[in-house]
Amino acid sequence: MAPQGSRAPLEFGGPLGAAALMLLLPATMFHLLLVARSGPARLLGPPPYLPEPEALWSPRALLLWLTWLGLQVALYLLPARKVAEGQELKDKSRLRYPINGFQALVVTALLVGLGVSAGLPLAALPEMLLPLAFMATLTAFIFSLLLYLKALILAPASALAPGGNSGNPIYDFFLGRELNPRICSFDFKYFCELRPGLIGWILINLALLLQEAELRGSPSLAMWLVNGFQLLYVGDALWHEEAVLTTMDITHDGFGFMLAFGDLAWVPFTYSLQAQFLLYHPQPLELPMASAICLINAVGYYIFRGANSQKNSFRKNPSDPKVAGLETISTATGRQLLVSGWWGMVRHPNYLGDLIMALAWSLPCGVSHLLPYFYLIYFTALLVHREARDEQQCLQKYGLAWHEYCRRVPYRIVPYIY
């Protein structure tokens, strides 16, 4: 058995919290899928019915799911325009990652376009969301179990994640023991974080748009907006793929059930909730309102992209003319912290932009139902919790300098409010 890594304080409510989340997250996802297509579309309250086992298990869905994963693996293995190095690991080495996510999105779009023009019934996909979500959940469970066993038997102490090695099997299974599980150069966590789920989300949205066109003659303005906004978000993530290498998911968290389920099932099947809702509950949207919503999304995107790009440019090269004039504080690690520009406004300006976009994605669905606002509610909770985890990690890294940053920039996400 591999030796234990250094012990970190337990997060997510410890083993009990982890066990509860492992039940609650899939249950919530299936609840949302069932409720979105029901007449009353009530977020709170029981689901309209409980699906029969045959509604969840379908060989067609299994085949489709495996084909999708296979296609994304093949696209990941294609030659990349760039190979980037990750952050330094405990053993002082750096892993290498292919930067070809945007290429995977474009090739997928071309293949889907060709398929649809050759008669591929993409509009039938919405009918298969339930069994597909079941396949994705099953895959996440089996996959995280295999990763847990691999880490237990094969991984050296230096390969373990700081958080997922408490010795409690439930907690470690949930958080993930190994930081960067790989087979040869194939990195499972990096692959899952950006490819099958994120691109799958866009494909599901597109299928919902096509089905709406079949049902009602043309897609609604609300459906166009939701599709356009979310395509921009995913395209942006894949275009700036290298930035994911510095996120806590890659540098700190192990690859366990939380990320496997989050990446493979939660993202595609719950982030597409607004488009699912619109297919079954068409909403009128006038041009002036649509323009106002576009403006909100543009403001959110401007803050989100501005903040992320400013930090990325600064971390890559602090003397880059774009960021060289910004005020900074020095830390004992030799790294600096920005205290002006976006990062002088609040301590997580990128989260603020992301939340404003989340609002813009729900508004096209009107205000008659709470359901399309689920993403905004969940995402606020996720980012508030994530911000607290990041602060904890920054305090450990930067000590007094972090206290000084918090004194100079007192608000976390929303200026003068939080």
Ligand X SMILES: NC(=O)C1=CN([C@@H]2O[C@H](COP(=O)(O)OP(=O)(O)OC[C@H]3O[C@@H](n4cnc5c(N)ncnc54)[C@H](OP(=O)(O)O)[C@@H]3O)[C@@H](O)[C@H]2O)C=CC1
By CB under 6 A, residue 408 contacts ligand X: no
The listed partner (ligand X, ligand L3PRFG4B, none) that binds 361, CB under 5 to 8 Å by sort, is none
Which residue's CB is nearer to ligand L3PRFG4B, number 283 or number 350? Answer: 350
Q: Least distance to ligand L3PRFG4B from the beta carbon of 265, Å? A: 8
Partner touching 390 among ligand L3PRFG4B, ligand X, none, CB below 5 to 8 Å by kind: ligand X
Question: Residue 350: which of ligand X, ligand L3PRFG4B, none does it interact with, CB under 5 to 8 A by kind?
Answer: ligand X
Instruction: Give the residue with the Cβ less far from ligand X, 191 or 233.
Output: 233
Among 29, 136, 204, 338, interactor with ligand X by CB under 6 A: 338
Least Å distance between CB 185 and ligand L3PRFG4B?
A: 21
CB of 304 to ligand X, least distance (A): 6
Q: How far is the CB of 294 from ligand L3PRFG4B (least distance, A)?
A: 19
Q: Which does 193 bind (CB under 5 to 8 A by kind): ligand X, ligand L3PRFG4B, none?
A: ligand L3PRFG4B
Q: Least distance (Å) from ligand L3PRFG4B to the CB of residue 407? A: 28
Nearer to ligand X, 196 or 219 (CB): 196
Nearer to ligand X by Cβ, of 129 and 245: the residue is: 245
The least CB distance from residue 38 to ligand L3PRFG4B, in Å, is 23
How far apart are CB 124 and ligand L3PRFG4B at their closest, in Å?
26
The tokens of 230 are what?
């979310």
How far out from the chain centre does Cα 273 lie?
Answer: 14
| Residue 390 binding ligand X, by CB under 6 A | yes
Helices of type H across 78-168: 101-117, 129-153
Residues lying near ligand L3PRFG4B in the complex (CB under 6 A) are found at 25, 193-194, 237, 244, 247, 249, 258, 261-263, 266-267
Secondary structure of the chain in the HEC alphabet? CCCCCCCCCCCCCHHHHHHHHHHHHHHHHHHHHHHHCCCCCCCCCCCCCCCCHHHHCCHHHHHHHHHHHHHHHHHHHCCCCCEEECCCCCCCCCCEEECCHHHHHHHHHHHHHHHHHCCCCHHHHHHHHHHHHHHHHHHHHHHHHHHHHHHHHCCCHHHECCCCCCCCHHHHHHHCCECCCEECCEEHHHHHHHCHHHHHHHHHHHHHHHHHHHHHCCCCHHHHHHHHHHHHHHHHHHHCHHHHHHCHHHHCCCCCHHHHHHHHHHHHHHCCHHHHHHHHCCCCCCHHHHHHHHHHHHHHHHHHHHHHHHHHHHHHCCCCCCCCCCCEEECCCCCEEECCHHHHCCCCHHHHHHHHHHHHHHHHHCCCCCHHHHHHHHHHHHHHHHHHHHHHHHHHHHCHHHHHHHHHCCCCCCCCCC
Q: Which is nearer to ligand L3PRFG4B, 178 or 263 (CB)?
A: 263
User: Which residues inside 241-280 make contact with ligand X, applying CB under 6 A?
Assistant: 246-248
Phi/psi at 52 (5° precision): -70, 155
Among 180, 227, 308, 362, binds ligand X (CB under 6 A): 308
Q: Is 354 in the site for ligand X (CB under 6 A)?
A: yes
Q: Which does 338 bind (CB under 5 to 8 A by kind): ligand X, ligand L3PRFG4B, none?
A: ligand X
Q: How many angstroms separate the CA atoms of 30 and 269, rounded?
A: 9
Residues that bind ligand X (CB under 6 A): 246-248, 304, 308, 311, 314-315, 335, 337-338, 343, 348, 350-351, 354, 386, 390, 393-394
